[in-house]
Chains A and B, each alone.
Chain A
Amino acid sequence: MSEAALQQAVGTSNVNEFLSFILGEEHYALDITTVKEIRGYEQVTKIANAPAFIKGVINLRGDIVPIVDLRLKFNVGEATYNQFTIVIMLNVHDRIVGIVVDGVSDVIRLSEEEMLPPPEFGVSFDSKYLHGLADVDENMIILVNIESLITSNELGLVETKSVITEDE
């Protein structure tokens, strides 16, 4: 077995796994190691003075966890909530955050070479929250740097010196 094939088989450093999801028309993917679980959308408890894209908090087996609707945050898709609405529970820096997306599609494996640099414009995400792009089965998939997004001031999920949300 060649070195590369071995690496492929055990999934070592060169290959990363991503969970791809859909927001509106666009395909996104995030590092699968940050995903805690995927669950349906359930009734949230609202938080006062929070921006609209922070839907509220839910009880995740005893943890009080905030739910963010990325569709509202990035103005993509329709923010409807029904039994098919999906929440990806993420575990980033010991914090649990749920993100609402339109759907979860697949787990994809990408090697470093397959990851292309992110474009400067054309996607809803600021390029500083992106790892890059990938081309999978003729679809462009945007690789999100979910850690920097979740901890960013823009989402205001984490207490910083002065949290300025862009929600006006």
Chain B
Amino acid sequence: MTIDVTQFHDVFFEESEEHLQDMEQLLMTLDVDSPDQEQLNSIFRAAHSIKGGSGIFNFDALMNLTHVMENLLDKARNQEIEVTSDIVDIFLQTLDVLRDTLTAYKESTDLPQDEIDASIVVLEEALANASGKASSGASDSAQANVAGSEQDDISDDIEGFGFFDDDDTNINTVSEAGVDIGAEIDAEIEGFGFFDDEPSTPVEPAAKSEEVDEGFGFYEPENLPVAPAANTEKRTAPTQPIVKPVKTKPKAAAKEAASIRVDTTKIDSMVNLVGELVITQSMLSNVGQEVEGQLGERLQLAIDELQRNTREIQESVMSMRMLPINMTFNRFPRVVRDLSSKLGKQVDLVIQGGGTEIDKSLIEKLVDPLTHLVRNSIDHGIETPEKRVANGKAEKGTVILSAEQKGSSIIIGIIDDGAGLDRARILDKAMQNGLPVSPDMPDSEVWQLIFEAGFSTAEQVTDVSGRGVGMDVVRRNIESIGGRIEIESSKGEGSAFYIHLPLTLAIVDGMCVSVGEQIFVIPLLNVIESFQPTDSQVKMLGNEQVLWIRDRYWPLVSLTQLMQVDGGVTEPTKGIVVLLESSKKRYGVLVDSLVGQQQVVIKSLEQHYKKVAGIAGATIMGDGKVAMIIDADSVAMSCATVSNSEVLL
């Protein structure tokens, strides 16, 4: 009997993806001047795990590639070779190929065999040239090549792999990674960084470790600052005398020990059950209020206890779904590095508040919009070094990726110190596209124009900005997860995109309002204020009622009309107006009265019915009744036909 191993494939794929991600992160943070031993070990372990798994499942291509990679990593961690930024580059390229290969196995599509072979060749060459000893049969053959001094061929080959576009980008790659190798770079590129210019330097197969210090062949002797001296004492001392503060301990290992892998659907069903529990608990406390006397008091005490416990359960269950936003942010150092070198720009990425926790489902959905915004910042925002210097700025631009929690929402910022948005050009373009604009629109409204479909001020479509994902898609993605996006920008100083997101999709802080017999919940995220309007604040504009408050006119939506509820207040002065802010516009809704503020569990209407305009979902109130949750954006759309935008005087 054979055991069907395919059932474990998914686990392997998932784990390998995590390993690849870990490796990428570690490589990105690896300090080439003084590589952290623990980091190198972690990278090695990750590669080793992938190799082991792929061997079990007969994923030969994956195994062969990781095997060679592992050999090189082993040398690196044993300090037999020096980790240069070129080596890091090779590893990063290999990771990309590994990822493609993994995907190919996962989706049972054709393996990227050419790239795999190419990667293996590159790795083996690096291995052969970096090390005095042949560590495997595979590298033997590669070494034979080197011994034959076919350097030109090799570097031709390597150029053919497209790893380096030209000298300029390579310089950027390297300096962007925080390594200042300066003048050596040009020399290195010719020999792919591993060879000396002299043909005599290639290491002889018999080279012993004592010879390694001279024979590494990484640099010409003149350029060797510290490496040879350090390398003589390999295995006994760190490569560099400059000791950096001890880095944080092996995260991967600690994580494995302290966590178990749980299917997200299990957590989701738990979240649902806890939602039910919250409802049941509030039903109980409704009933409890009717019980009188001593029994009532005792019941009330018990219910209070239950309430506390329920809240704690709810919090801890919700926290199971919460992950640090670094899960998303961590991919950006690589994005920024690749992109900035491609565009010949110098960009520093600063990540702030990566520990901020956010719902897992949001993390996944944030990747695309964030990638787009970050790419935009680098492509359109940050200027070229020459231009920056000419404008009296530092050569290197900065992109800040930040996250912070404010109340029940998370604010994610993508801030650059680039050129800023060009008001005149946006207005021009909007005019061309036939959008309703006027030259004296406030900035905030002008910026929102870039989210219109088909709107791009980029003069030419590059492969960076012309990926088919427009800003309108970014906004739609953000809105689909209940968020909104704001822009601040000043010309010449930079721009900032702020994404406001709810903490979680499952529970919303809501303002409960009554209309006729029905209760509606308005997400607190959208509420600005509520008040009872006076006669003088209500004006008629054509046939429509508008409100004059806060020095501007606000369109007024009557919830009783919009939601077709009988018996609601229709006179604004007799009801309450709640001022709302959506990503599209600000407006007021007229309701009968305010009931209270509470957290509600969002239930899908679509599961058993269908989407309803103006409604984001439903929830179950303490009495077991269903209340609708207002979707401020979609209500804004329905009042768009009434009055196109806020009227400004």
Contacts and interface: CB of A to CB of B under 8 A. Distances in A.
A46 interface: yes
A130 interface: no
A46 B272 CA distance: 24
Contact of A59 (B604, B610, B624): B624
A92 B333 CA distance: 49
A159 B625 contact: no
A49 B612 contact: yes
A118 interface: no
B626 A97 contact: no
A41 to B, nearest CB: 14
A49 B625 contact: no
Contacts of B615: 47-48
B603 to A, nearest CB: 5
B613 interface: yes
Given A43-B625, A59-B626, A159 B610 contact: yes
Contacts of B276: 61-62
A101 B169 CA distance: 74
A70 interface: no
A64 interface: yes
A63 B607 contact: yes
A49 B563 CA distance: 7
A46 B275 contact: no
B255 interface: no
B264 interface: no
B624 A95 contact: no
Interface in A45-87: 45-50, 56-59, 61-66
B281 to A, nearest CB: 13
Main secondary structure of the interface of B (DSSP, over half): loop
B279 A62 contact: yes
A47 B612 contact: yes
Contacts of A62: 272, 275-276, 279, 603, 620
Given A46-B518, A48-B563, A64-B603, A59 B608 contact: no
Nearest to A43: B625
A157 interface: yes
Interface in A91-123: 95-97
Contact of B628 (A45, A97, A157, A159): A45
Nearest to B613: A49
A150 B421 CA distance: 52
B608 A97 contact: yes
A84 B620 CA distance: 25
A114 B569 CA distance: 57
B639 to A, nearest CB: 14
B562 interface: yes
A158 interface: yes
B517 to A, nearest CB: 9
B608 A48 contact: no
A156 B609 CA distance: 9
Given A45-B627, A46-B564, A63 B613 contact: no
A51 B518 CA distance: 18
B464 interface: no
Interface residues of A, number: 26
Contacts of A159: 606, 610-611
Taking residues whose C-beta sits less than 8 angstroms from the other chain, chain B's interface range is 20 to 34
B279 A47 contact: no
Interface in B592-646: 603-615, 618, 620, 624-628
A149 to B, nearest CB: 15
B563 A64 contact: no
B237 interface: no
Interface string B99-126: 0000000000000000000000000000
Contacts of A50: 612
A95 B272 CA distance: 17
A57 B612 CA distance: 12
A96 B603 CA distance: 14
B614 A48 contact: yes
Contacts of A43: 625
Given A49-B564, A59-B626, A66 B279 contact: no
B610 A57 contact: no
Interface in B259-290: 272, 275-276, 279
Interface string B16-53: 00000000000000000000000000000000000000
Contacts of B562: 48
A73 to B, nearest CB: 15
A15 to B, nearest CB: 30
B610 A158 contact: yes
Nearest to B561: A48
A64 B272 contact: no
A96 B611 CA distance: 15
Contact of A47 (B275, B607, B609, B625): B609
B291 interface: no
A119 B411 CA distance: 63
Nearest to B620: A59
Contacts of B627: 45
User: Which of B610, B613, B625 has the most chain A CB atoms inside 10 A of its CB?
Assistant: B610
Given A48-B564, A62-B279, A64-B618, A57 B605 contact: yes
Given A46-B564, A48-B564, A59-B620, A157 B610 contact: yes
Contact of A157 (B603, B609, B612, B624): B609
A65 B608 CA distance: 6
User: Which of A43, A48, A66 has the most chain B CB atoms inside 10 A of its CB?
Assistant: A48
Interface in A148-168: 156-159, 163
Contacts of B603: 62-64
A45 B275 contact: no
B626 A63 contact: no
Nearest to A157: B609
Contacts of B626: 44-45, 56-59, 64
Nearest to A60: B608
Contacts of B275: 62
Contacts of B608: 63-66, 95-97
A129 B482 CA distance: 39
A161 to B, nearest CB: 12
Nearest to B604: A64
Contacts of A95: 607-608
A159 B607 CA distance: 10
A163 B611 CA distance: 12
A61 B276 CA distance: 8
Contacts of A58: 626
Interface of B: 272, 275-276, 279, 518, 562-565, 603-615, 618, 620, 624-628
30 contacts: A44-B626, A45-B628, A46-B518, A46-B564, A47-B612, A47-B628, A48-B563, A48-B565, A48-B612, A48-B614, A48-B615, A49-B564, A57-B618, A57-B626, A58-B626, A59-B620, A59-B624, A62-B276, A62-B603, A62-B620, A63-B603, A63-B607, A64-B604, A64-B620, A65-B609, A66-B608, A96-B608, A158-B610, A159-B610, A159-B611
Given A62-B272, A62-B603, A63-B603, 14 more contacts: A44-B626, A45-B625, A46-B563, A46-B564, A47-B612, A48-B562, A57-B609, A63-B607, A64-B607, A64-B618, A64-B620, A95-B607, A97-B608, A158-B610
- Of all A-B residue pairs in the complex, the 7 with the closest CB atoms, nearest first, are A45-B626, A159-B610, A48-B563, A66-B609, A64-B618, A59-B620, A62-B276
